[in-house]
């Protein structure tokens, strides 16, 4: 089994994941996502577990507050092999309240839905952007995005450096939006155009 990678490694554009390693998304019932995260985070069994949170700004009695809330209430992300991921689910002998998020566009030879496999480069940028914990960076709906013509870009400076996505207008500002297969769209905060360069991604993952 390969050494457990770090988040610094898997968010590096030059990092190459070991054969068989993928990003999986899990659906956790009974509000136990935090419980499973706490159970797995320090095991170091060749996988990484990520429980994305975001800063939310609220106002009360004229005062501004920031709180950290889960980005997805019933989901966790695991970077592992399929067998490691399966062992966490009810089908693999794990918890009966843990299961894969499935890809609705893919079925195996028996006609069953396949677990969603998130492309590595997309997830790399998603993790990198979300871990900035900027209060104005968040998941956005398709209706809130106005993509500009053109391909992928890389952010060259600032807290979102090396995030790869597409330039879009979100909330009236120029931002970079990372599209994550089967998950959604994640928008950075405002990005100046002088910190953007074209990015040619020839990888399949």
Q: Are residues 167 and 69 in the same domain?
A: no
In a domain, 203, yes or no: no
Maximum alpha-carbon separation in the chain? 59
Q: Which domain holds residue 29?
A: 7-118
The residue with greater pLDDT, 65 or 128, is 128
In a domain, 204, yes or no: no
Distance in angstroms (rounded) separating the CA atoms of residues 163 and 11:
9
Distance in angstroms (rounded) separating the CA atoms of residues 43 and 49:
10
Tens digit of each residue's pLDDT (9 = 90 or more) over 165-198? 999 999 999 999 999 999 999 999 999 999 999 9
Exposure pattern of 168-204 as b/e (b: 16+ CB <10 Å)?
bebeeeebbbbbbebbebbbbbbbeeeebeebeeeee
**Cα–Cα nearest to 180, from 157, 205, 201:** 205
**Mean pLDDT across the chain:** 89
Tens digit of each residue's pLDDT (9 = 90 or more) over 32-86? 999 999 988 877 677 889 999 888 888 888 888 888 888 988 999 999 999 999 9
Question: What pLDDT, on the 0 to 100 scale, is given for residue 15?
Answer: 87
In a domain, 152, yes or no: yes
Q: Are residues 107 and 53 in the same domain?
A: yes
pTM value is: 0.87
């Amino acid at each position: 089994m390969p050494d457990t990678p770090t988040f610094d490694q898997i968010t590096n554009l030059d990092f190459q994941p070991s054969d068989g390693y993928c990003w999986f998304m899990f659906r956790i019932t009974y509000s136990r996502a935090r419980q499973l995260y706490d159970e797995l985070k320090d095991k170091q069994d060749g996988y990484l577990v990520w429980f994305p949170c975001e800063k939310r700004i609220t106002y009360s009695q004229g005062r501004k507050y920031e709180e950290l809330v889960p980005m997805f209430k019933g989901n966790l992300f695991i970077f592992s092999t399929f067998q490691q991921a399966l062992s966490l689910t009810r089908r693999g002998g794990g918890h009966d309240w843990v299961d894969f998020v499935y890809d609705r566009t893919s079925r195996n030879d028996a006609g069953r839905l396949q677990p969603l496999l998130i492309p590595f480069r997309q997830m790399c940028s998603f993790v990198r952007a979300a871990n900035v914990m900027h209060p104005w960076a968040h998941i956005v709906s398709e209706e809130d995005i106005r993509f500009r013509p053109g391909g992928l870009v890389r952010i060259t400076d600032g807290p979102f450096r090396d995030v790869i996505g597409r330039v879009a207008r979100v909330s009236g500002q120029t931002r970079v939006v990372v599209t994550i297969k089967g998950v959604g769209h994640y928008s950075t905060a405002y990005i100046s155009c002088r910190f953007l360069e074209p990015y040619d991604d020839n990888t399949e993952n």
